Structure 1
């Protein structure tokens, strides 16, 4: 029996059938994401070089797993999540409740669940769950009315409360940034968003800079009068709420743990406790400043190699970049983050529906807030909140959640021009 000749075109067809579902991916976004993850592994290795740890290796392993998951998600149709968003919301809240019941504690907070020997942090995946849920809700009804906006706030308040009670102040702030960013993109009145944030700002100003508090309260009362449906009641209500929030600031301060209070205050003057709560900030600024323009070189930073900064591979990874890659390296990292954000905005603008557009904006809000706060605390202009630097800081749950978010946005880009079968 004669053997059939090898049909070389069949191999091309097979490769084409594999790549066809991914042909419309935003490859720029994917390459930028992989680049930051690769750099993160290098800097984590440098921060742990003399400690005998293998977190850098795990960072790359989880990055590879995350990339595979992201590509699988990108092949799938993101619209299917519209039918599952309440299921995802329920799973999100149940996981956060499970942390409070059976989670393990560290540094005064209960945030992790041990699964087969791995510590999983559900609050990181809850960020993605919140983005999916809010995107589905705002897809059905935009936030152009007060009713629609309050529905979103009510949905977001439940997981936010669970995270705040862990306590995890940093992640609860990320939840707030995601919610505000998605509300703004869904046509919520900017004045309403400012009114929602005003009580927190009022409480801070009342206790930090009292003269500015009077100006703030007067401005918010004017905004309430101009933006709310009932001008007189809106203005008076905004005034009363902000005055009350100022006086309640002391009570709210008492709800925070001691280590959270130190993180919020010491960044203003870390020299008050140079060997305690201010130690991280002081050493981080020394490391970044010593890098100068071009840096000391990979594995050559004195602050990094001598481990002057505890847990540098997590929240303070940017200080290692500043010392060993210098101002030029820090600038390159900032440019890459800016390009990632630019791609997310472009995908949001070109999405074929509001759901896909809101998914991209939700991830954008998360990345922007975490990047600004993390770098801010590394250079001493923001309090230490425990927020990781996306894709660069070590954290298996955080890295995997970031790749899941990237996969969702890539699905939006991949299917923006396709019709349903």
Structure 2
């Protein structure tokens, strides 16, 4: 049995509470967004499913606390190969929805491997970079790490899932920064990437091109690709300071706002809880990022630092892009809002990433609170 006082000092209780609050907010908002448009006895089907998998995720985190995260380091390459096989299986045997082939069906359960691949890539990259910390000074040093990213990146792009591919890049740059990469290399890479944008444009699918065009001017296709952004901004703006009240949002309840329980759930929060509600949600995310950076700073080894920075990079990019696209300052990419958007694969991945942070915190060198 654990000594209660010692056990509580070895877990990051504020982080657990913050994540629990976000999940509860998500469940309530999912209920608001879906209960009107879901028939009969399945009125709260999304709420029930999200709640069940939140509990499953919590149980998995408890299991994760039983081992030392450093046990994952020797498994980096094996996990990388498993990840590549899983993503390849989507291209071969996956099923399509919303114009993309991203899901694998096993019996009644459908899951999205690209969501889990984010956490797997964090672990694999951390294992690869652990012995390269402070040694990424030339392109020759950086090339093996970049090549390591290319295979899963390309497999995800072909699904097509450009949003997840961009998350991979955010994780990559966050982790090589933590590994002490020469910043001159980063500047050159960004410059090179910008120079390739005109070429990259020709490889985008028509709907992806249209998303970028409506990001610049939503009114270019107000009843098509621009519809989501226009309705989202209307919803958020109509919430004013205090919102219209839970379950009272007209844009969401009357089904004007598409994907209101997944990609555009932040717009529902804005409409129903106003500026105050959205500010609270964003402050909780900011708190999570602060805790994540503190855990990285207190980690006992480079592997732990890299893992924590990778998780933080993933979380920060998700929040930035999801919130940004709902208010019209980012293109629509289909990236969910962590812990709040409906989605079993996304929820479990994010909960497991928090479990990884808790494990690093539990095994840090000093007990600091």
Structure with greater Cα Rg: 1
| SS of equivalent residue, structure 2 residue 110 | strand
Residues 22, 74 of structure 1: 8 Å contact kept:
no
Hey, what does 2:108 align to over in structure 1? 117
Alpha-carbon distance in 2 for matches of 1:417, 1:105:
47
Alignment partners' CA distance in 2, 1:64 and 1:75: 18
Name the residue aligned to 2:324. 376
SS at match of 1:113: strand
Structure 2 counterpart of 1:216 = none
2:81 aligns with: 90
1:95-174 equivalent positions in 2, closer than 5 A: 95-142=86-133, 143-146=135-138, 147-174=140-167
| Equivalent in 305, 321, 339 of residue 253 of structure 2 | 305
Q: Note if 1:328 corresponds to 2:328.
A: no
Q: How big is the shift at 1:259? A: 1.2
Could you tell me how far apart the structure 1 residues matched to 2:137 and 2:65 are?
33
Number of equivalent positions: 360
Q: Per-residue displacement from partner, 1:167-217 (whole Å, max 9, x unpaired)?
A: 11000000000000000010001221121122332344xxxxxxxxxxxxx
Aligned to 1:51, the other structure's residue is in SS state coil
Do the aligned partners of residues 21 and 91 (structure 1) sit closer, same or farther apart at CA in structure 2, a change above 3 Å counting? farther
Whole-Å separation in 2 of the counterparts to 1:135 and 1:114: 30
Whether the 8 Å contact between 2:90 and 2:104 is mirrored in structure 1 is yes
Q: Structure 1 length normalisation: TM-score? A: 0.83
The secondary structure found in structure 2 opposite 1:75 is coil
Structure 2 unaligned regions, length at least 5: none
Q: How far does residue 22 in structure 1 lie from its aligned partner after superposition? A: 6.4
Match of 1:29 in 2: 15
Q: In 2, Cα distance between the equivalents of 1:346 and 1:337?
A: 14
> Which of 328, 338, 346 is equivalent to 2:286?
338
In the TM superposition, residue 149 of structure 1 has moved relative to its aligned partner by: 1.9
User: Could you report, residue by residue, the CA deviation over 1:264-305 in whole angstroms, capped at 9, with x for unpaired residues?
Assistant: 110111111111110000000000000000011100111111
Shift of 1:130: 0.5
Kept in 2: contact 1:21–1:75 (CA 8 A): no
CA contact (8 A) 1:22 1:75 kept: no
Q: How far 1:110 sits from its partner (Å)?
A: 0.8
Given that 1:45 and 1:55 are in contact with CA atoms closer than 8 Å, whether structure 2 keeps it comes out as yes
Q: Give, in angstroms, the shift of residue 138 of structure 1.
A: 1.2
Match runs of 1:225-236 below 5 Å:
none
Q: Is the 8 A contact 1:75 1:414 kept in 2?
A: no
Report the equivalent of 1:42.
28
Offset at residue 310 of structure 1 (A) = 1.4
Give the Cα–Cα distance (whole angstroms) in 2 for the partners of residues 80 and 148 of structure 1.
26
Which residue in the other structure is 1:59 paired with? 50
Paired with 1:311 and 1:396, the residues of 2 have a C-alpha distance of 15
Q: 2:175 & 2:219 partners in 1: Cα distance? A: 39
User: How far apart are 1:75 and its partner, in Å?
Assistant: 2.5
